[in-house]
Chain A
């Protein structure tokens, strides 16, 4: 079996190379390996963990400690109480690794150890079996049960190597400091911040900046060259804040397409190239585009797309089993394509993905809801956050009760705004709810307001 090192910094002289910045401190590879060793020794004898660490360095130590102790990191799409219950049904022995004082996750907990006095121990770079199951990421599915997708070590490493090649961040160049505004708990953040640093030979930044001023401070706190890994929403707000921006060598954006206008504004303000990444939870990243130059996506070299009937399948390279894509794709050349939106049922808000089927399932599972349906507005404005509407027949429930029940089940970004109480939904003779009829109902309810 092929074994691949835990980190890409494998030359002997790299053992003291800085691999991360953690709360202002430079972390050498030897210190990282020691931290991983210490954390792994504290893990309970359980096979699955939910890594909730908000600091990216601590998350990475947690991920690596899980890898070296052959535990599986579970990465659900959201952390609502209902999702945590589902994760526990999937893996009854799951425990939660966290780094917040009042972690509310209803699982056995392990707090990330705060022990700066722990003596550093010498640890060789662990070699990991490429077939080892590292993580299971979940998509929302359509029946209320999250769908698991397995991520093995070999394919994760391969995908990051493809990314490094595409981004031009080869081992010969100086390591870039990777600053992310996206959480490491989702595929994009996992691949393009944590693994890009550890497996791409770059330097990880522990900070998880939130406000624009935080992003600027996080960039300033680490040496150039820097990579900013972000989303259309964060980038738009960062530009709008009109702060002085530190030097950045490269900007990555994913989760939703950027408008050409915003892409140009970003490149102009940063004076640096912007690459958009296309991928999915199931496939990981598979294509990029330089958005100021083209709308066409360029596939990673080993990935193939195949049209079958009315859907497109991705396979090859790190996509070890063929995956049907949920996007409407038009081929322009064998390795280039255009995206024409999502297949109708899929919803992506602020990088969180769900499906109308799943949201409707969750809504109708609430006691007191006789009927209910979510509605996705027609044209989601570029770079702004779209909000869903919902109509519900629930004569015994108040809006507050219903919203509280929904909040238990679905991520806050999908909560309906507005939530409309109606006497009945305009279902047709076969019980189906035509989208146009739902749209009309919502228009009537809201008067002239457009949705």
Chain B
């Protein structure tokens, strides 16, 4: 489950784990943050999140990193495709 398909730089890996930990805590998930595969889908198969989960994650992410997610912004649908995409989005958009 922890196998990385592409190399991840140190900062990204740290942020990725931090975001995974936020998700696990916000949703009370039954997995360890380090066990969430970076490229596995978060929706449906994979982690099995639904749209309410996505709203909950969006809230903690917006508070922690000072950004607001928008459904009509570009790439919206890919943000929650994987932990890696979500982390990349946060890294690019964060204000704190």
Chain A residues positioned under 8 Å from B69 (CB to CB):
211, 213
On whether the beta carbons of B71 and A211 are closer than 8 Å, the reply is yes
Inter-chain CA distance A214–B73, complex, in Å, is 10
Q: A403-B48, A417-B30 are in contact. Are A213 and B55 (CB under 8 A)?
A: no
On whether the beta carbons of B44 and A210 are closer than 8 Å, the reply is no
Interface string of B36-59 (1 = CB under 8 A from A): 000000001100101110011011
User: Is B72 part of the binding interface, using a Cβ–Cβ cutoff of 8 Å?
Assistant: yes
Closest B-chain residue to A208, C-beta based? B71
User: Is B96 part of the binding interface, using a Cβ–Cβ cutoff of 8 Å?
Assistant: no
Closest A-chain residue to B72, C-beta based? A214
Chain B residues positioned under 8 Å from A436 (CB to CB):
none
Q: How many residues of A contact B (CB 8 A)?
A: 24
On whether the beta carbons of A237 and B55 are closer than 8 Å, the reply is yes
User: Is A209 part of the binding interface, using a Cβ–Cβ cutoff of 8 Å?
Assistant: yes
User: Is B4 part of the binding interface, using a Cβ–Cβ cutoff of 8 Å?
Assistant: no
On whether the beta carbons of A211 and B48 are closer than 8 Å, the reply is no
Task: How many A-B residue pairs have C-beta atoms within 8 angstroms? Tell me.
Answer: 56
On whether the beta carbons of B70 and A233 are closer than 8 Å, the reply is no
Inter-chain CA distance A240–B50, complex, in Å, is 20
Which of chain A's residues 44-85 have a Cβ closer than 8 Å to chain B? none
Interface string of A389-427 (1 = CB under 8 A from B): 000000000001001100100001101011000000000
On whether the beta carbons of B71 and A241 are closer than 8 Å, the reply is no
Closest B-chain residue to A415, C-beta based? B48
Taking beta carbons and an 8 Å cutoff, which residues of A are in contact with B? Answer: 209-214, 217, 233-234, 237, 240-241, 243, 350, 385, 400, 403-404, 407, 412-413, 415, 417-418
Inter-chain CA distance A128–B63, complex, in Å, is 50
Min CB distance B69 to A, Å, is 5
Chain B residues positioned under 8 Å from A418 (CB to CB):
30
For the A-B complex with A217-B70, A234-B55, A400-B45 known, give 20 more contacts whose Cβ atoms are closer than 8 Å.
A210-B51, A210-B71, A211-B58, A211-B70, A212-B62, A212-B68, A214-B70, A233-B52, A237-B55, A237-B59, A240-B63, A241-B68, A350-B52, A404-B45, A407-B48, A412-B48, A413-B50, A413-B52, A417-B48, A418-B30
Taking beta carbons and an 8 Å cutoff, which residues of B are in contact with A? Answer: 29-30, 44-45, 48, 50-52, 55-56, 58-59, 62-63, 68-72
On whether the beta carbons of A385 and B68 are closer than 8 Å, the reply is no
Inter-chain CA distance A212–B71, complex, in Å, is 10
On whether the beta carbons of A241 and B30 are closer than 8 Å, the reply is no
Chain B residues positioned under 8 Å from A403 (CB to CB):
48
Inter-chain CA distance A210–B58, complex, in Å, is 10
Q: A241-B68, A243-B68 are in contact. Are A211 and B45 (CB under 8 A)?
A: no
CB pairs A–B below 8 angstroms (6 shown): A217-B72, A400-B45, A403-B48, A407-B45, A415-B48, A417-B29
On whether the beta carbons of B52 and A241 are closer than 8 Å, the reply is no
Min CB distance A261 to B, Å, is 18
On whether the beta carbons of A213 and B68 are closer than 8 Å, the reply is yes
Chain A residues positioned under 8 Å from B30 (CB to CB):
417-418
On whether the beta carbons of A211 and B44 are closer than 8 Å, the reply is no
Chain A residues positioned under 8 Å from B72 (CB to CB):
214, 217
- A-B pairs, 6 with minimum CB distance: A412-B50, A213-B68, A210-B71, A211-B69, A214-B71, A418-B30
Inter-chain CA distance A78–B22, complex, in Å, is 29
Inter-chain CA distance A404–B58, complex, in Å, is 25
Closest B-chain residue to A351, C-beta based? B52
On whether the beta carbons of A212 and B59 are closer than 8 Å, the reply is yes
Inter-chain CA distance A403–B69, complex, in Å, is 29
On whether the beta carbons of B44 and A407 are closer than 8 Å, the reply is yes
Inter-chain CA distance A403–B47, complex, in Å, is 11
The listed residue with most B CB atoms (<10 A of its CB), out of A211, A233, A404, A417, is: A211
On whether the beta carbons of A241 and B70 are closer than 8 Å, the reply is no
Closest B-chain residue to A233, C-beta based? B52
On whether the beta carbons of B55 and A211 are closer than 8 Å, the reply is yes
Min CB distance A118 to B, Å, is 25
Chain B residues positioned under 8 Å from A241 (CB to CB):
59, 62, 68
On whether the beta carbons of A209 and B71 are closer than 8 Å, the reply is yes
On whether the beta carbons of A210 and B55 are closer than 8 Å, the reply is yes
Q: A212-B68, A213-B68, A412-B44 are in contact. Are A240 and B59 (CB under 8 A)?
A: yes
Min CB distance A391 to B, Å, is 14
Partner of B68, one of A211, A233, A234: A211
